């Protein structure tokens, strides 16, 4: 189902992930979060930006365990834990945050 972002129509797959990751812009995350009735805070953006950097370096969208460990290593153990990440992304920190970041669905 396509989404409208800043006057552009962007294609998504059947689960709502962006079909072309190169079309991502911050407005994508805003539109997707609004659909989920979620207001993005600086903490959400920290994880979205982290995921985009992680994907750029490793070319993979991390599963939740890998994400949790990587966030802990970079941002500290207060943020690198499942409880914190699920508070931000209640539909699953890896899947929901990767979706907002314009990345493919994580494996695992």
DSSP, residue by residue, 14-55? TTS-BS-GGG--HHHHHHHHHHTT----HHHHHHHHHHHHHH
Q: How far apart are CA 93 and CA 89, in angstroms?
A: 5
In a domain, 60, yes or no: yes
Average pLDDT over residues 25-32: 98
In a domain, 107, yes or no: no
Q: Provide the residue range defining the domain that includes 69.
A: 3-100
Rounded to two decimals, the pTM is 0.94
pLDDT beyond 90 at 108: no
In a domain, 108, yes or no: no
In a domain, 106, yes or no: no
In a domain, 72, yes or no: yes
In a domain, 105, yes or no: no
CA-to-CA separations, 60 to 29, 63, 92, 105, in angstroms, rounded: 19, 9, 17, 9
What lies within 8 Å, CB to CB, of 37 at 6+ separation is none
pLDDT digits (tens, 9 = 90+) for 55-102: 999 999 999 999 999 999 999 999 999 999 999 999 999 999 999 999
The CATH number linked to 39 is 1.10.10.370
- Residue 47: CB atoms within 10 A of its CB come to 25
Residue-level pLDDT at 102: 98
> Rounded mean pLDDT of the chain?
96
Based on the number of CB atoms within 10 Å of its own CB, is 63 exposed (0-12), middle (13-18) or buried (19 or more)?
middle
Residue-level pLDDT at 51: 98
In a domain, 36, yes or no: yes
Residue-level pLDDT at 70: 97
In a domain, 85, yes or no: yes
Q: How many domains does the chain have?
A: 1
Residue-level pLDDT at 107: 82
């Amino acid at each position: 189902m396509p989404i409208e972002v800043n006057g552009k129509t962007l294609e998504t797959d059947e689960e709502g992930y962006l079909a072309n990751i190169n079309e991502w812009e911050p407005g994508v995350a805003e539109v997707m979060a609004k659909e989920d009735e979620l207001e993005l805070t600086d903490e959400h953006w920290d994880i979205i930006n982290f995921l985009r950097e992680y994907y750029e370096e490793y070319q993979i969208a991390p599963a939740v365990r890998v994400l949790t460990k990587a966030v802990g290593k970079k941002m500290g153990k207060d943020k690198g834990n499942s409880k914190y990440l699920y508070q931000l992304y209640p539909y699953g920190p890896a899947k929901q945050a990767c979706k907002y970041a314009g990345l493919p669905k994580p494996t695992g």
